[in-house]
């Protein structure tokens, strides 16, 4: 039973990572940015396929994932003729939306999990307490991902007002998290 719990945790973590990265992918594509890779895991490539300009796949170490958006900084090389599709060439609002989309999907995922499990599944009190804890962590993951600085290099490329814009984005995300906690009664 313990192994089943570990496997369920690993699958849930990878699903959460995949949804997070999919948020970056969707918004980057929506704004015309070039996304060259979308992988689950790190290390050696185990399996992949290409659809359009993006290579999708799975790598050997199932501890994360990434979505490679080309041109994160002005020094990144772009394929000839694709320079206008670089991340750094987008306007500040589009950059913030792309950077925050993955974190935002953590809130959505946490909210859906809490709403579904509280309203559909009949569970005992101990399991309910664990579900509430995990859901709070998922909601908080958006704040951690946004505030952790994992993409500060890209945020610095936004322009002359990155700190002010980052603070505004953080306040918006915190407001969404607080509203989700209030609505779900966590």
Show which residues are catalytic.
21
Angle CA 78–81–85, to nearest 5: 60
CB 97 within 8 A of CB 24: no
Angle between helical axes of 125-147 and 2-30 (0-180°, round to 10):
40
Query: Cα separation of 13 and 69, whole Å?
Result: 22
Expressed in angstroms, the distance from the first to the final Cα of the chain is 28
């Amino acid at each position: 039973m313990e192994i089943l719990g570990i496997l369920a945790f690993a699958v849930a973590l990878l699903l959460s990572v995949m949804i997070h990265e999919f948020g970056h992918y969707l918004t980057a594509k929506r704004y015309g940015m070039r996304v060259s890779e979308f992988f689950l895991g790190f290390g050696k490539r185990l399996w992949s396929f290409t659809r359009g300009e993006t290579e999708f796949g799975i790598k050997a170490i199932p501890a994360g994932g990434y979505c490679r958006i080309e041109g994160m900084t002005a020094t990144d090389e772009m394929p000839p003729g694709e320079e206008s599709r670089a991340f750094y060439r987008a306007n500040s609002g589009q950059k913030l939306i792309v950077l925050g989309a993955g974190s935002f999907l953590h809130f959505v995922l946490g909210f859906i999990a809490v709403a579904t499990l509280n309203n559909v599944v009949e569970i005992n009190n101990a399991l309910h307490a664990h579900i509430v804890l995990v859901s709070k962590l998922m909601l908080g993951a958006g704040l951690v991902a946004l505030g952790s600085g994992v993409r500060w290099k890209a945020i610095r490329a936004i322009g002359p007002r990155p700190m002010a814009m980052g603070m505004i984005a953080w306040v918006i995300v915190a407001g969404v998290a607080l509203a989700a906690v209030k609505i779900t009664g966590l």
